[in-house]
Structure 1
Amino acid sequence: MLSTSFSQALPVFMQGLVLCFGLIVAIGAQNAFLLRQGLRREHVVPLVLFCALADALLISAGVLGMAQALGAHPGFAQAMALAGAAFLAWYGWQALQRARHASQLQAADGGPGLSRGAALAQVAAFTLLNPHVYLDTVMLMGSIGAQQPAGLRGWFIAGASIASLVWFCGLGFGARWLAPLFAKPRAWQVLDGLIGLTMWTLAVLLLQHALAPASV
């Protein structure tokens, strides 16, 4: 019974993990700010915790809220699955387009140090005032996670939350090691290529789920 339960939970956990990684790894203000603070070794712990906790709460709210919405409107589930597949396909195409061009993530150097409150206020603005964070966590991950069986939704949320925590920990605590890598355009081209292929794979799986005959 345990092995059967684990065999069912692991793919759902991995789907949440991989999807979150694909969405969160990007050149953006939040990541650049956290990388900067990591290089300065300034308030890294509270900043990492804030970013990871914000993602976990938004993903949980998205999955649970979408589950309630889909439960009230069963026909809406297929439409959301098709929309999710289309978005993942578009996101994958965008990542592959980025892979064709050089880009890099650089943390701003210099400038005065920040108090803990000021640093948290800045990272909160970068996180919560970015409309894409709600599209990614609440809408996309919420709609995909909500279509998992009720007993497995927690595994999806756990996988996504762990991906977020690992990424932000690596960015904050491993900044001195990661900064030279992220400053290399080639590294981002390879990463974007992998993200693009992964998003397309997830899009195909979601499309198959959307078009599968409903079980009786």
Structure 2
Amino acid sequence: MLTAFIHGFLLAFGLILPLGVQNVFVFNQGATQPRLTRALPAVLTAALCDMLLILLAVLGISLIVLKLAWVKTLLYGAGVVFLLYMGWAIWKSSAGGEQTERPEPLPPGKQVAFALSVSLFNPHAILDTIGVIGTSSLKYDFPEKWAFAASCILVSLLWFCGLAISGRLLGRLDQSGRWLRWLNRLSAVIIWGMAAYLGRQLVA
């Protein structure tokens, strides 16, 4: 069981480490919120979404569902619309007011909705979860499979907490709000890039 736990921990860490729209969004919320606790909606939503995807992958359910063409079309179509709106909302929060003002933080409801979109409408996250974590879990039987899944979920939670804390440190250093404004704009561009990628997959 320990071997399965260590395998899952290292595998999940390798998958979650690269820069992606989900990571950028959580870091952004840690940086722009006035207190670290105000970024918890984004952190917890992203972590819970990852937990759901990991469990579905380990149990083999997600692979069956995504074989249905209409499900993939629905996910990608909804993802394009939501990511375009999300990018616009984040860009707008840094575009108004004086250049010395800090960006306007997102309220909890928008944090949850946006975290859901970047987690569940992210083809890279879904394919990594199904193709890598789900496939790797096939070598284990229960209860080793649960240990493998638990370690992947633990990495996800710790990583998102770490991102929010790192973002908060940047936010405290940038009292003028200049770097936070550019961070918001970078986040919006990355999110629009993901929307364009999803749109291409939709019409391909």
Decide: shared fold, TM above 0.5: yes
Hey, what's the Cα distance between the residues in 2 that align with 1:178 and 1:128?
27
Q: Secondary structure at the match of 1:146?
A: helix
Aligned-pair CA distance for 1:41: 2.9
Contact 2:32 2:103 in 1 (8 A): no
Partner residue in 2 for 1:112:
104
Structure 2 CA distance for aligned equivalents of residues 178 and 160 of structure 1:
27
**Unaligned residue ranges in structure 2 (runs of 5+):** 65-89, 95-101, 174-178, 180-204
Partner in structure 1 of residue 42 of structure 2: 47
Matched with 1:30 is 22
Which of the residues 119, 124, 145 maps onto 1:153? 145
Tell me the CA shift for residue 157 of structure 1: 0.4
2:84 is matched with none
> How far is the alpha carbon of 1:113 from its aligned partner?
2.3
Q: Which amino acid aligns with 2:15?
A: L
Please report how far the alpha carbon of residue 174 of structure 1 lies from its aligned counterpart in structure 2 after TM superposition. Answer: 3.4
Aligned pairs (5 A) from 1:18-167: 18-41=10-33, 43-65=38-60, 110-167=102-159
TM-score using structure 2 length: 0.59
Which deviations, in whole Å up to 9, do the C-alpha atoms of 1:83-107 show, x marking residues without a partner?
Answer: xxxxxxxxxxxxxxxxxxxxxxxx9
RMSD across aligned positions (CA) = 2.8
Counterpart of 1:152, as a letter, is: E
In 2: Cα distance, 1:63 partner to 1:174 partner:
30
Between the aligned partners of 1:48 and 1:141, the Cα distance in structure 2 is 21
Structure-2 separation of matches of 1:134 and 1:50:
16
Distance 1:150 1:136 in 2: 22
Equivalent residues in 2 for 1:199-214 (5 A)? Answer: none
User: Given residue 50 of structure 2, which amino acid in structure 1 is its aligned partner?
Assistant: D
Aligned length: 136
Alignment partners' CA distance in 1, 2:58 and 2:150: 11
Q: What letter is aligned with 1:49?
A: L
Is 1:171 the counterpart of 2:163 in the alignment?
Answer: yes
Distance 1:119 1:47 in 2: 5
Q: Give the gaps of 5 or more residues in structure 1.
A: 1-8, 70-106, 184-216
TM-score by length of 1: 0.56
- CA contact under 8 A between 1:145 and 1:153: conserved in structure 2? yes
Contact residue 43 and residue 164 of structure 2 kept, 8 A: yes
8 Å CA contact 1:51–1:168 kept in 2: the answer is yes
For the Cα contact (< 8 Å) 1:33–1:123, is it kept in 2? yes
Distance 1:178 1:138, change over 3 A: farther
* Distance in 2 of aligned mates of 1:114 and 1:171: 17
In structure 2, how many angstroms separate the alpha carbons of the residues matched to 1:175 and 1:149?
Answer: 39
Sequence identity (%): 36
Question: 2:54, 2:129 within 8 Å by CA — same for their partners in 1?
Answer: yes
